[in-house]
Structure 1
Amino acid sequence: MPAVRSGRPADAAGRAGGRATPTQWALTVGVIVAGVVTIRPLDTTGRGLAVALLLLVNCALMAVRLLFPGRFSAGWMVAGVLAAAALMGVADAGTAYLFAFFLTGWSGYRLDTRPALALAAACSLLCGGALYLGSGPERDAASLIVGFAVGAPVLAGMARRSRNQATRAVIAAAEASEAAARAEARTAVLTERGRIARDIHDVLAHALAGVNMQLELVDALLDTGDLDKVRQATGTAHGLVKDSLRQAQWTVHALREDALPLVESLAAMLESSGHRNALTVTGTVRELPAQVTQGLLRIAQESLTNAARHAPGAEVGARLEYAAGSTTLMIVNGPATERATEGWGSGMGLIGMRERVALLEGTVTTGPVATGADRGGWRVEAVIPG
């Protein structure tokens, strides 16, 4: 255990400024009163004066120990040991040993183990020697036992210190656990906010951008008087609105963590985008967690939106593969057959796609198709473990 400069353990330094309890004050006053009443000789001359001065010193040290605990360092304890041993050697009778008892107990509480044991051993030897030399020819075993036993309270002080350390450790662990729980809750809130932001983007940004593009087209067509194309554009806008309503329902289900039928939802999404029988399913179909299902649906939605934006008129195919340890969704579109219209879309789709896959601990690969029938198109492949 690390020690501070005063010789106290580091944890004791934190207690240095603490106030004494009423019990400690009561015991201290009791020891002082008992000493004044019982210790003899007590006079103003000769040996009685020496006893009175030593008693005053011991009483002062007892009071300073409670009034200024932070300043009662190892040096003060050594002085207290010397004063207590001297008082026991000079006094003929009384409770002088109580000062040594309390001092060694306090050292066990305030000092590291080795310094506390060393101080207690020194106190026992000094007090035992003082009683042995001061008792004269009538030396008895009882006085020697009392003298050598004054170091025993150090064990009680050490036990109290260990108990307080354990209590503080439990409190610190509880506080750390509470702080970790608060941090985890905040992380969960931020994650959920990010998820909702992605859902809002997927539901609103794409639909509104598509509807806006169709309305701009309608406005341009009105000047030409081509009502058939106007009806076609408004029909497309109505389809986008219906599709966005369907996606809003998916989002509500996801936020409520309802189970979504992945295969049926993918097929309906492709069909509503104008791509019939475009879904291929391999492997054994199984129910996936709601977060995985929602993530795959959002990836498919983003892929279809990007295909409609950058490769209008292109064929789109989707493949859903259920493997033993993962689920893979691949969306591939061919090259554009119509002129692409730029200038709509938020640009956050691919970012949101990567964020979704990262939250599911999966991988996503995007890039152009270099070979095969879809050469010149675009491929999105997401692999989700589990």
Structure 2
Amino acid sequence: MPGQDPRTQWIPTLFLIVSALWTVEPQGLSGRGLACTVLIVVNSLVLATRHVPEDKIPPRLTAAWLTFGVLTAAALIGVSTGGASYLFAYFIVGHIGFRLEPRTALTLAALCGVLCTVALYFHLGTGHDLLPWTLGFTTGGPVLIGMLNRSRHRAVLAALSAAESAERAARAEAQAAVLTERGRIARDVHDVLAHSLAGINMQLELADALIETGDLEKVREANQKAHSMVKESLKQAQWTVHALREDSLPLVESLTAMLDSSGHRDALTVTGTVRDVPSRVTQNLLRIAQEALTNAARHAPGGPVQVELTYADTSMTLAVRNGPATRRVNAGVGSGMGLIGMRERVALLNGTITAGPVVTGPHEGGWQVEAVIPG
């Protein structure tokens, strides 16, 4: 059986061989003794061959040597005059049930029973007078035990194969999840840093070129833009860190931390009963909120910001509103996502998104982004 020590499987075989050599008579180098000795050796070899793995012997050869084993086992009963010679028949038939297909195994078991019965009935071995001839029929019985062990053996192999397949699938899934997470982190970091660093580098190169012209006012302006971009990049980096932690932080806490890091404390309003949502919903809503806050900081600096998260029975709504700018608007660089990226994220969740100017209320003249997610 799988997982069983091969040395343990050899114990019954060696015990039977030693018992036969010790008890079976006659043994010698001539006449019946020589025939009995040869048959003991042959039966021992047939019995020992059962420990050879199935895939090492072709099925036809297996059937041939087990058929030969049935014949030699019956012959040993007929030639010997005493001892445990009949045990070879029991062991060989049991292995027939384990090694061969049911129809072939039952046929050989019946053949063994008939041959052993004939040997005992006609008292071919004079020492077997004390054994009833009907004992020969019982030598075919162990085939059922062998067939049962065969079924159990195959069930164990199937279970091991299924477990190995499940383990391989789990490893592949885990690897795919790691690669997906790496891709997501790389994409988020790229959105935050790539364009910002490119813009900062451009402003610094411009300042360097303006130094040679002696126009200090334009140098200061380029330097201020670079500083502004650095501050915005730092804010976006903080938001990204929070977004990357959405698997360990609930949505409300993550939004609160994001708003606090951007300087909009107490800007979040939650309506309805808060409930747990899938991590991918949390991830995409946080990225939508991050992009909306980035756009507000870029296009309406100094304007008030209000974020509303509404839990309805069958949906969730995230709305980000900002008022008009109260400070000078400086041209900046995007995060690489924009409204198209927000629409793609919402589409992944089978939701809808609207964006446009605010025409009424305290944020009139500002901008509003509203995403509705089912579930």
| Category of TM-score, reference length = shorter chain | 0.5 to 0.7
- Does 1:31 find its partner at 2:16? yes
Letter of the structure 1 residue corresponding to residue 24 of structure 2: I
- Aligned partners of 1:325 and 1:385 also within 8 Å: yes
Q: 1:151 aligns with which of 140, 143, 152?
A: 140
**How far is 1:24 from its partner?**
4.5
Out of 116, 130, 141, the position equivalent to 1:127 is: 116
TM-score (norm: length of structure 1) = 0.66
Structure 2 residue runs without a partner (length 5+): 323-329, 360-366
Tell me the CA shift for residue 290 of structure 1: 9.5
**Which residue pairs with 1:84 in the alignment?**
73
Query: How far apart are residue 105 of structure 1 and its match?
Result: 1.4
The corresponding residue for 1:362 is 349
Question: Contact 2:354–2:371 at 8 Å: present in 1 too?
Answer: no
Question: Secondary structure of 1:143's partner?
Answer: coil
Question: Is 2:169 aligned against 1:176?
Answer: no
2: CA distance between counterparts of 1:217 and 1:267? 34
Change (3 A) 1:351 1:123: farther
1:198 partner letter: R
Is it true that 1:58 corresponds to 2:63 in the alignment? no
1:262 aligns with 2:255: yes
Contact kept? 2:79, 2:124, Cα under 8 Å: no
Distance of 2:44 and 2:36 partners within structure 1: 12
Residues of 2 paired with 1:230 and 1:145: CA distance? 114
Matched, 1:326 2:315: yes
Identity of matched residues, %? 50
**Which of the numbers 79, 90, 104 marks the counterpart of 1:101?**
90
Moved more, 346-355 or 165-174: 346-355
The yes-or-no answer on 1:299 pairing with 2:284 is no
> 254-263 vs 348-357, which deviates more?
348-357
Query: Where does 1:198-217 land on structure 2 (aligned, <5 Å)?
Result: 198-215=187-204
Secondary structure, counterpart of 1:239 in structure 2: helix
Distance apart, 1:63 and its partner CA: 4.0
Task: Return 5+ residue gaps in structure 1 as ranges.
Answer: 1-11, 272-278, 334-339, 373-377
| Preserved contact between residue 238 and residue 261 of structure 2 (Cα < 8 Å) | no
Inter-partner Cα distance in structure 1 for 2:300 and 2:5: 82
Counterpart AA for 1:246: K
AA in 2 matched with 1:134: H
CA distance, structure 1, for counterparts of residue 5 and residue 256 of structure 2: 72
Give CA-to-partner distance per residue, 1:12-42, whole Å, 9 cap, x none.
9xx9xx9994445443344334334433444
Instruction: Name the SS for the 2:316 alignment partner.
Output: strand
2:76 and 2:157 map into 1 onto residues whose CA distance is 38
Task: Report if the CA contact (8 A) 1:199-1:251 is conserved.
Answer: yes
CA distance in 2 between counterparts of 1:295 and 1:381 reads 13
Distance in 2 between residues matched to 1:96 and 1:129, nearest whole Å: 15
Count of paired positions: 353
Q: Is 1:165 equivalent to 2:154 in the alignment? A: yes
Q: CA RMSD in A?
A: 5.2
The answer to whether 1:247 aligns with 2:236 is: yes
DSSP-derived class of the 1:73 partner: helix
Decide whether the 8 Å contact of 1:205 with 1:345 is kept in 2: no
In 1: Cα distance, 2:216 partner to 2:275 partner: 49
Aligned to 1:276: none
Shift of 1:137: 11
Query: Once structures 1 and 2 are overlaid, which stretch shifts more, 196-205 or 210-219?
Result: 210-219
Q: Which amino acid counterpart does residue 242 of structure 1 have in structure 2?
A: K
* Offset, 1:255: 3.2
